Structure 1
Amino acid sequence: MIKDYKSVEVFIGVDVGKSNHHAVALDKTGKKLLDKALPQDEAKLREIIDSLAGHGTLLLVVDQPATIGALPVAVAQAAGVMVGYLPGLAMRRIADLHPGEAKTDARDAAIIAEAARTMPHTLRSIDIADEQAAELSMLCGFDDDLTQQSTATSNRIRGLLTQVHPSLERVIGAHLDHPAMAELLAKYPTPDTLKKAGTKRVEALLKKYAPRAGARWAAEIFTALGEQTVVVSGTAGAAVVLPQLAAMLANLRTGRVEVLARVEALVEAHPLHVVLSSIPAVGIRTEARIITEVIGKEFVSAGHLASYAGLAPVTWRSGTSIRGDHPSRKGNKALKRALFLSAFAALKHPVSRAYYDRKRAEGKRHNQALIALARRRCDMIFAMLRDGTLYDEKVTKAA
């Protein structure tokens, strides 16, 4: 819900685009004051706002507040105009209530403006984003990209090793998350090059990056090499591909370390770091997600936040054949994933483990019990952020 909504006299709906937007402005009676396309240009956006300022207090509503919609939001905020956001799902449902099936920028902008005028409950407020939160959001998104690419590259390496030498893959693949194995494959990518290098050279290389495990891993690698005498077709190609994949994997992991260092600095400088870091199993990446996905948004209750995060159960009922509560498939997936993984890490914490075990004893499966734990921790985070209090284990046990 938008603060000071009752004072709004002009509702501007903007259907944002990569290079061009479309804006429709309505007054309180629904009279159209503006209907035109405009480029992704600050001067043109300011011109539109200035031309409507004489009609009274303005509210600009977009269908996408980030990426391609960031400039209109920033220009409006700089001009002192209230800004709102109409979620995509809500917009599509509202669009179904309007006549016609056409999908045009002008129609979408008109629907956004009309929703802003007549259905304020569908809107979400957009607070002025500080530079810290904006940078965190960008870095978190990039970190997710690096993680996906790193996983894909690791899987590709394992696939190639399985193709040319399954026994070797079982050894190297089990420790591929360690930097030593990427360095090994970059220098000795095939069974033949490993054999020619010899045990001492391979052991020396592995010890450089894994001093305690290097000798053991080298022995396991040469034991695996002795289990296969034939050369599988495609091994020559793997000799070209594997070093490049290993170098890519090393670079991706270096990138993640650099990004994490910057994220850590931003999170530790945030005023809520003391509150969030007091929660068991909430690390830097989870804190960053909470700051970027929760802070600055309005949630009237813990249930509202849980629904936004996709942790609130959905009831399905139809006659006598379909009954029960099921996990939601909607919500903010990045936040849901962060809270789910944090709940999994929290199983080492006695209070969280006791709650998880209780849910398992009630007949819930592993994932169901974890989601229940994530929901409980989500409720706790809501209360702590609302009151500005630190984690108190006594209060958690009593809850």
Structure 2
Amino acid sequence: MFVGDDWAEDHHDIELMDGSGRRLAKARLPEGVAGMARLHAMIGDQLGQTLADEVEVVVGIETDRGPWVAALVAAGYTVLAVNPLQAARFRDRLGVSGAKSDAADAHMLADMVRTHGHELRPVAGDSARAEAIKVVARTHKTLIWERTRHTQRLRHALRDYFPAALAAFDDLDAADTLELLDKAPTPGQAARLTIAQISAALKRARRRNITPKAAAIQTALRAEHLGQPEIVAAAYAASSRALIAVIATLNAQITALQGQVESHFGQHPAAEIIVSQPGLGPVLGARVLAEFGDDPHRYSSAKARKNYAGTSPVTRASGRKKVTLARFVHNDRLIDALLTQAFAALNTSPGARAYYDRQRARGANHNAALRQLANRLVGILHGCLKTHTPYDEMTAWSYQTGTVAA
């Protein structure tokens, strides 16, 4: 039996379909326990006296997380997570009028899993521990991205009315910078800061070489720059103080949540293998584990893991023309973590450094070479997880020198 589930925040449009494509039933169900109970009843009514073990129920839905999906998996249904882009393309095959409705989408999803279910990825059977890591790791990264956005907004504001601050401070999200800007948000107030006040802020932020740094900051703040009228500068200062307060709060929450990420990740059985990889520590390793998941059957090969990661290239061939391109449809969080790992591995792994240098010698630019290194590291990680073996430098890169690890 095939089930199309077009979900919304408060309801689900459901259609049941048999193997021949005949509609068996359809309904709009509420979100939550009541809706799930009605779905089970709908399926039970269609099965009748048939033993449940003799029938596979395949559900197509455009998400892979949430309590509803977890309940479907717990009920023993095969849940296929359909990418919304795939669903849109399949919808175009069924009609060119552009008409769309929730009920029609439920029908489309049921038909899609009936005819193309073998090409869709089932929802991974990740452990509860891996799901917990995903929750804290994603929130931690989201807060970092939010801090970056607010820091950029602060930078743009300072550039418009207080360019001396950009010359004085290197890191706008640093604790000492935020303290001094909050205390003196206008050029006039900043010019009156004393060495003692600046030094105290640097000391609380645990900076080194406080005396020369304090003198350099004071000199930069007192230098002449183009500015704004006093009333405009005051308005900018009020806006900047609001941004400073948000960034300071984000800093505190990022630090607190980092402890949660490290704590949850440290309890996972695969943590030791993951942190043994070059360029991966507890936080970055947690992000990689969170996005890959820990279902041992999810990736049939290293190539499958690379394809999911988005590090493997895409080949387009037509006639005599053949080009190899980077994948631009991928998990943004995962590719961000893997490229960060590859960059860090350049300083910790001689094999990774040699591989990167070889790609550059072949004419690849930095981004392309880094992506190829990340692709190679994903393959190494897959082998280590599959064999439950920590990373070994000689084994991982022995092919580069023609040697084989003992």
Structure 1 residues 168, 92: closer, same or farther in 2, change over 3 A?
closer
User: Partners of 2:43 and 2:225 in 1: how far apart?
Assistant: 79
User: Partners of 2:158 and 2:216 in 1: how far apart?
Assistant: 15
Partner of 2:290: 292
Partner of 1:5: none
Whether the aligned pair in 1 keeps the contact of 2:29 and 2:38 (CA below 8 Å) is no
Mapping of 1:66-77 within 5 angstroms?
Answer: 66=65, 70-77=66-73
Structure 1 residues 273, 220: closer, same or farther in 2, change over 3 A?
same
Structure 1 residues 18, 195: closer, same or farther in 2, change over 3 A?
same
Whether the aligned pair in 1 keeps the contact of 2:138 and 2:287 (CA below 8 Å) is no
User: Partners of 1:362 and 1:378 in 2: how far apart?
Assistant: 21
Amino acid paired to 2:372: A
Structure 1 residues 224, 88: closer, same or farther in 2, change over 3 A?
same
User: Partners of 2:335 and 2:226 in 1: how far apart?
Assistant: 48
Structure 1 residues 181, 383: closer, same or farther in 2, change over 3 A?
same
Q: 177, 182, 186: which one pairs with 1:181?
A: 177
Partner of 1:18: 9
Residues 1:311 and 2:308 are matched in the alignment: no
Mapping of 1:1-399 within 5 angstroms?
Answer: 10-53=1-44, 55=47, 56=52, 57=55, 58-66=57-65, 70-99=66-95, 101-172=98-169, 174-228=170-224, 231-233=227-229, 234-295=232-293, 296=295, 298-319=298-319, 323-349=322-348, 350-399=350-399
CA apart distance, 1:319:
4.8
CA apart distance, 1:247:
1.9
Amino acid paired to 2:197: R
User: Partners of 1:355 and 1:201 in 2: how far apart?
Assistant: 49
CA apart distance, 1:135:
2.6
Q: Which runs of 5+ in 1 are unaligned?
A: 1-9
Q: Deviations 1:325-354 (Å, cap 9, x if unpaired)? A: 111111222111110111011110222111
Amino acid paired to 2:267: A
CA apart distance, 1:167:
3.3
Structure 1 residues 217, 163: closer, same or farther in 2, change over 3 A?
farther
Q: Which runs of 5+ in 2 are unaligned?
A: 400-406
Q: Deviations 1:208-260 (Å, cap 9, x if unpaired)? A: 22342432222112211332176532322233222222221111111111111
Whether the aligned pair in 2 keeps the contact of 1:184 and 1:202 (CA below 8 Å) is yes
Q: Secondary structure at the match of 2:280?
A: coil
User: Partners of 1:267 and 1:339 in 2: how far apart?
Assistant: 17
Q: Deviations 1:280-330 (Å, cap 9, x if unpaired)? A: 11122332222222123622222222121111112234455x542111111
Q: Which stretch shifts more, 92-101 or 27-36?
A: 92-101
**Please, what TM-score do these two structures have when normalized by structure 1?**
0.90
Q: Which stretch shifts more, 131-140 or 379-388?
A: 131-140
CA apart distance, 1:185:
1.1
CA RMSD of the aligned region, Å?
Answer: 2.1
User: Partners of 2:299 and 2:356 in 1: how far apart?
Assistant: 26
Whether the aligned pair in 2 keeps the contact of 1:194 and 1:202 (CA below 8 Å) is no
Q: Which stretch shifts more, 72-81 or 36-45?
A: 72-81
Amino acid paired to 1:260: Q
CA apart distance, 1:194:
2.5
Q: Which stretch shifts more, 11-20 or 118-127?
A: 118-127
Q: Which stretch shifts more, 130-139 or 151-160?
A: 130-139
Structure 1 residues 307, 248: closer, same or farther in 2, change over 3 A?
same
Whether the aligned pair in 2 keeps the contact of 1:84 and 1:124 (CA below 8 Å) is yes
CA apart distance, 1:128:
4.3
**Please, what TM-score do these two structures have when normalized by structure 2?**
0.88
CA apart distance, 1:268:
0.5
Q: Deviations 1:66-118 (Å, cap 9, x if unpaired)? A: 2xxx2322222333333222222322222222135321111111121112222
